[in-house]
Structure 1
């Protein structure tokens, strides 16, 4: 093993360990928040029900996250004969990452984007839209696929799905305070009825925001990691940077709002939004992502990662 490969291996291991620790804390926070909402809604019984939902959601997310995400977007598998160059590209990047080749899917939309899903590298899939194949050249598309396979290599795909699922249930549970308010918002037989009403109103307002912020913390931190891994895998940070800039512009011109709950899975945010919505974006600022990628090229003296580390 060369010195460059040793540095790469050690860096990836450290990155995955750091991500695992952060994810554990964040998912624990989401779980605790869900249990708290359950307790506020139904006391001890609500706490038990919330705990049951946590177990069921985590089980379903682990085993079926890839199929659920792909079905929500009407993705279909791409046969090898249909696009042998695309399969070859995915296979080549996966080999560099040291993981099995993910399955390849296409989404029937002209909105340019891509995402990866699956519970682990052995059960992963990468999906590209019809629009991204039209918009990017093959050098840029390889950078995008390297980013998505970077998510698989870093084991980000499962975590993002679980976090989104729990956050969604928290928001739904909190909203039930509004739709089924009445007895939940106050207790006439309790001297502290007003305090309970105010407390439950706090759940209604705070819980969805807290769940969203926790979910964003999971998603945003992983995009930077996948960018770095993807740049390393394709050996050309500028290719990924160029692709991201094109995709951001393409998403602005052609937003894609099918299954908004899965927007964090895509390489760029498929939803349109102004400056205020940017605060709650599932993706870090594009300018910062591009800057970091350009810096990677500068640090290698303009050479590709593989050549620089050979």
Structure 2
């Protein structure tokens, strides 16, 4: 089912890519867009994960540079009965995390330094388990390729703002004229966003539940979500703001001003996710009175150090 959904998603985004090409350059533009989209789909399947990791300056870590974090992920992967993914750390003050990769055998999980600073050990485990759940359910393939193609649609639409609309069907210009091209600049990225939302929002609840079952502590994950959600609206993620098509990959929307649980939000409302985890905790026999964070967070053991020299040695060492 995951592969069928991915195929449908790719077909829909490819069609949208072709529509933008048609709006910019008529039939010739549509054919060029089709060829570009076909090549991009193939390239994205094999390389989109590397592009996203490079986009955020993620650095791979191992037992030598970040032993605690790597051992934690290995233990969680064993509990989930899945291969050990590569582990990356992003030097970014905003607490957040994401997973990427075309399948569990070629997957990676990435956490920001802000997340390792802010959360305690159980909360970090909950976040990593959530990301492993995305890998286990093959969500990462859909999410990563969607981010790549949706970003390309936005770039193509903006390209049309400068080069489309000045011609006609005979000279392969935009068949919709300048006004139609301008509308496409806004409508095409919006349509791509709606496709992203339709996929990613429903998968967050599933990843929350599976992640809670993997780590065995749904309330620790709920606490982590509360802390991350509060901090993401205070600490700006400049790389995410520059690449909004990747926002749906993170455990909490990294963009500013995205708090509403509606069609245009990349994630369900954090309050709803926490409520679902609290209900799950009751069924798992956890204490229902677990306190949600409302003060200073508890730092994890062995946090990322502030000095440049320490930063290069790696976190959680």
Q: Which TM-score tier does this pair reach, normalised by the shorter chain?
A: 0.7 to 0.9
Displacement after TM superposition at 1:286 (Å): 0.8
| CA-atom RMSD in angstroms | 2.7
Q: Label 1:133 to 1:210 Cα distance change in 2 as closer, same or farther (>3 A).
A: same
Match of 2:120 in 1: 137
| Mapping of residues 116-127 of structure 1, within 5 Å | 116-127=99-110
Displacement after TM superposition at 1:20 (Å): 4.4
- Aligned equivalent of 1:34, options 4, 8, 17: 17
Match of 1:105 in 2: 88
- Aligned equivalent of 1:252, options 219, 228, 233: 233
1:187 & 1:75 partners in 2: Cα distance?
45
- Secondary structure at the aligned position of 2:233 is classed as helix
Structure 1 regions of 5+ residues with no counterpart?
A: 1-16, 305-310
User: Does 2:153 match 1:170?
Assistant: yes
- Secondary structure at the aligned position of 1:254 is classed as coil
- Aligned equivalent of 2:205, options 224, 238, 241: 224
How many residues matched?
Answer: 284
Q: Which has the higher helix share?
A: 1
Displacement after TM superposition at 1:25 (Å): 3.2
- Cα deviation per residue 1:13-67 (whole Å; 9 max; x = unaligned)? xxxx3x5444443332222111222223223322221111112211221111222
Contact 2:78 2:84 in 1 (8 A): yes
TM value normalised by structure 2: 0.80
Q: Label 1:157 to 1:266 Cα distance change in 2 as closer, same or farther (>3 A).
A: same
TM value normalised by structure 1: 0.82
1:85 & 1:302 partners in 2: Cα distance?
26
- Secondary structure at the aligned position of 1:183 is classed as coil
Contact 1:257 1:270 in 2 (8 A): no
Contact 2:129 2:211 in 1 (8 A): yes
Match of 2:59 in 1: 76
Structure 2 regions of 5+ residues with no counterpart?
A: 289-317
- Aligned equivalent of 1:300, options 281, 284, 288: 284
Worse-superposed segment, 67-76 or 77-86: 77-86
Displacement after TM superposition at 1:80 (Å): 0.5
Match of 2:216 in 1: 235
Match of 1:11 in 2: none
Match of 1:7 in 2: none
Contact 2:103 2:141 in 1 (8 A): yes
Worse-superposed segment, 93-102 or 217-226: 217-226
- Aligned equivalent of 1:289, options 258, 263, 273: 273
